[in-house]
Structure 1
Amino acid sequence: MRGRTSEGRLQALDAYLLHHERPLLTRQDGDWARAVFVDVGLGEQPWTTLESARAFREVNAALRVVGVEADPARVASARVHADALTDFREGGFTLPLRPDETVRLIRATNLLRGYRAEDVPGVHQVLGERLLEGGLLVEGSTDTSGAVGVSHLLRRTGSGLAREALLFHTDFSRGFAPVLFRDWLPRDFRRRVKPGEPIHDFFVYWTEAWSAARAGGHVSPPEAFRHSLQGLSRRVEGLVLEPWLLDHGYALWRPTGGVFG
């Protein structure tokens, strides 16, 4: 379970979702009218859940938010902040949802770092069971301040839960080099950055592109980031080079057929 989550730690994820997943946050037709956002793992205080609720309600004022935590004391403390649209419930990966609730978005960040890598796909499946088709599960890790993070983006499709993309983010406060992300990869990739693994090749190519960018005079962290991704895109399929993403420190890798397992 999450420990002392600092305020603002997940604001970069909020910003990405508001920019790239606004239709998911605002959709109101059919079952989507009662579809909630679920934040799994509150930490000692529910700051990140409350921050996300405020941010997402700027585009969907009626959005219901459910914070889920396994520790009863933390749930009791969080309930001080509950209101008509915000609820806090005791539970785990099998989400404690009401029969009439559907789910549009689930976030489970900084929860699985202590789990075995082979257990991660099963946790994803359990978490994603209640997602509406088209709904999204975000699962990954950040550093303690939220300056650096990497997340799985898993989409509910008609045939199941698809590993749609990996999302990397840095705010450049720690500089930039691709190696910065290695310690914050999702749990199932963290020990796989080694020869013979696709994620190893990804980082080798990105590091080579970063070195070439710096040799070409693009030495500031934002410039090196942008130009390294442009170089990487010539060797790796599926990088999304949208200007807003690059300008704000996001690397979105969405390979055809999904992210390898």
Structure 2
Amino acid sequence: MPSQRPVGAVTRGTTNPNRLRRADRWLISTHAARLRGGPPPVLVDLGYGSAGVTTREWAERVAAVRANTQVVGVEIDPERVAAAQPLSRPGLSFVLGGFELPVPPARVIRAFNVLRQYDEGEVPPAWERLRQGLDPAGIVVDGTCDELGRLGAWVTLDRSGPLTLTLSWRLNDLDLDTRMPSVVAERLPKALIHRNVPGEPVHALLGDLDAAWARSAPYATYGARAHAVEAFAHLARSWPVIGDARRWRLGELTVRWSAVAPTSQP
């Protein structure tokens, strides 16, 4: 247990089984080499909520990439830590803590639906503190998703700062419900959610994304995946998109952070 009071505030703690499956799939595929390289990695699930189920799922999924990974759920609420203890096993533990991270340097720090509940001005110092908790090959994944995990967005940072923004959709929901991709705006990370206004880069990105989606509508005849591949390929002609159709078919679009970073500090 940490000797000082954990840094941070208690969040609502809502969670559901499989809520973070899309982000887990992205991490395991996109950062497999990072997980496999170097000494056995520590992965931190910061603010896992009222139940440790998504932390346990994460441990099971990363074990397919590297068996000797140590996954640690960190929660600021002692009752949540106590409630999660029955899920503990070799390679999976739950401890009391906050942004000070009472664990060894981490390869991955996952903070989903945590900073969303803070003020925008609190994000940069929180990011800085988390980055200090990384090992040399480590990354922070700060994200937000809906209750069922079908819609989400996350920022990836390393020790140097923010790298990318990833947007994620359950593609069938877009075509079946005739929604536009910009619906993901409601799940943007805290650093961006208040920046979806004219003049901000993320607003321009979402506008161009909707336009590309509408332009590619005829491809919906071949299914939601074909629609997404065409739309995202069109967007990639004018935006620094990272990745290709293999990720797009899964409903993932990643762009460089420099293209969407806020134009001013909060």
TM-score over 0.5 (shorter chain): yes
Equivalent of residue 123 in structure 2, options 114, 120, 124: 120
Per-residue deviation, residues 38-58 of structure 1 (Å, max 9, x unmatched): 000121110100000001011
TM superposition shift of 1:90:
0.6
Per-residue deviation, residues 100-151 of structure 1 (Å, max 9, x unmatched): x221000000112221112111111111212122311000100000000000
> Could you say which residue in structure 2 is the equivalent of 1:243?
245
SS in 1 for 2:116: coil
Measured in 1, the distance between the counterparts of 2:58 and 2:204 equals 34
> Could you say which residue in structure 2 is the equivalent of 1:164?
163
SS in 1 for 2:122: helix
> Could you say which residue in structure 1 is the equivalent of 2:21?
11
Residue 95 in structure 1 maps to residue 101 in structure 2:
yes
Equivalent of residue 230 in structure 1, options 224, 227, 233: 233
Measured in 1, the distance between the counterparts of 2:46 and 2:172 equals 27
Q: Does the 8 Å contact 1:147/1:173 carry over to 2?
A: no
The residue type paired with residue 5 of structure 1 is: T
The residue type paired with residue 204 of structure 1 is: G
The residue type paired with residue 250 of structure 1 is: E
Residue 36 in structure 1 maps to residue 38 in structure 2:
no
The residue type paired with residue 18 of structure 2 is: G
Q: Which runs of 5+ in 2 are unaligned?
A: 1-10
> Could you say which residue in structure 2 is the equivalent of 1:110?
113
Residue 205 in structure 1 maps to residue 208 in structure 2:
yes
Measured in 1, the distance between the counterparts of 2:129 and 2:139 equals 13
Q: Does the 8 Å contact 1:164/1:258 carry over to 2?
A: no
Measured in 2, the distance between the counterparts of 1:82 and 1:259 equals 39
The residue type paired with residue 254 of structure 2 is: L
Residue 129 in structure 1 maps to residue 132 in structure 2:
yes
> Could you say which residue in structure 2 is the equivalent of 1:186?
189
The residue type paired with residue 261 of structure 2 is: F
SS in 2 for 1:60: coil
Measured in 2, the distance between the counterparts of 1:75 and 1:251 equals 34
The residue type paired with residue 111 of structure 1 is: V
Would you say how many aligned residue pairs link Structure 1 and Structure 2?
A: 247
Cα distance change on mapping 1:243 and 1:12 into 2, 3 Å: same
SS in 1 for 2:102: coil
TM-score normalised by L of structure 2: 0.87
Cα distance change on mapping 1:225 and 1:184 into 2, 3 Å: same
Identity of aligned residues (%): 30
Cα distance change on mapping 1:217 and 1:50 into 2, 3 Å: closer
Q: Does the 8 Å contact 2:228/2:249 carry over to 1?
A: no
> Could you say which residue in structure 1 is the equivalent of 2:152?
149
TM superposition shift of 1:254:
2.3
Q: Does the 8 Å contact 1:218/1:227 carry over to 2?
A: no
Measured in 1, the distance between the counterparts of 2:137 and 2:250 equals 25
SS in 2 for 1:188: helix
The residue type paired with residue 242 of structure 2 is: V
Q: Which runs of 5+ in 1 are unaligned?
A: none
> Could you say which residue in structure 1 is the equivalent of 2:35?
25
TM superposition shift of 1:181:
0.6
What's the C-alpha RMSD, in Å, of the aligned pairs? 1.7
Cα distance change on mapping 1:218 and 1:239 into 2, 3 Å: same
Equivalent of residue 71 in structure 2, options 47, 65, 69: 65
Measured in 2, the distance between the counterparts of 1:108 and 1:12 equals 14
Equivalent of residue 253 in structure 1, options 247, 252, 255: 255
Q: Does the 8 Å contact 1:230/1:241 carry over to 2?
A: no
Cα distance change on mapping 1:185 and 1:233 into 2, 3 Å: same
Measured in 2, the distance between the counterparts of 1:78 and 1:125 equals 28
The residue type paired with residue 178 of structure 1 is: P
TM-score normalised by L of structure 1: 0.89
